[in-house]
Amino acid sequence: MQYQSKAAIRPLVAALVLALASTAAVQAQDAKPADAKSADAKPADAALANQLDPNAADKDAKLLDKYQAVKVEDGKYFDKDGAPTYHITNDGKKFDWYAYSGYRRYHAECHVCHGPDAMGSTYAPALKDSLKRISYEEFIGIIAGGKQDISASGTNVMPAFGDNKNVMCYADDLYTYLKARASGAMPRVRPTDKEEKPEAAKKAEKECLGG
């Protein structure tokens, strides 16, 4: 009786072991694609990338191409239209000095009206969208001379910063940062890594602030 029941159980156990083994095999197979995707990124890196790029979907392929740096002079990058632009290395983590500096200047001088990370507010437009169409010359003209939409209620005014050295001496920095936001190259996160401040930037800053 005892022997019989053991014998009866044995095939069951074997079947169970087989079933478990095949489930594990299926699970291993299922896990493969995910593992393969992050093959070159350690799990911690992948988590960090997600954290750094919460709006990866905002990336604009056309603008990423248009605003791509094709030339560098003394640590300052230019796109194919000859306008200042951003440059990112190290898997999208390391920004050029001007984009980084622009991030800081923006959050000192512009964010009160235009919202954090150039996302806009009820008072002023989202510059991450404006910079999809505004040229370098237009941008400099607007921040120097201001802007008032006459078709609106007339109460929302973009002040003229022409006399404000804390803005005008960093106009290219602001423009570079906002371009990176417009194309989606820079996520809504403070840049953690940056290139060294170029000697040319130090010199230009000194002359602009002092002159």
The residues that touch ligand HEC, with contacts defined as CB under 6 A, are 109-110, 112-114, 123-125, 127, 130, 134, 139, 142-143, 147-149, 152, 156-159, 161, 167, 174
DSSP string, 186-203: S-SS---EEPPPPHHHHH
* Shortest reach from residue 49's CB to ligand HEC, in Å: 29
**CA separation, residue 136 to residues 50, 84, 98, 128, 139 (Å):** 31, 8, 15, 14, 5
Q: Whole-number minimum distance, CB 138 to ligand HEC, in Å?
A: 8
Which CB sits closer to ligand HEC, 52 or 110? 110
Nearer to ligand HEC, 143 or 201 (CB): 143
Query: Looking at 87-143, which runs of residues are DSSP E strands?
Result: 88-89, 94-95
Residue 126 CB, nearest approach to ligand HEC (Å):
8
Nearer to ligand HEC, 53 or 109 (CB): 109
Contacts of 94 (CB under 8 A, 6+ apart): 88, 193, 194, 195
CB of 208 to ligand HEC, least distance (A): 15
Question: Which residues are paired to 76 by β-bridges?
Answer: 73
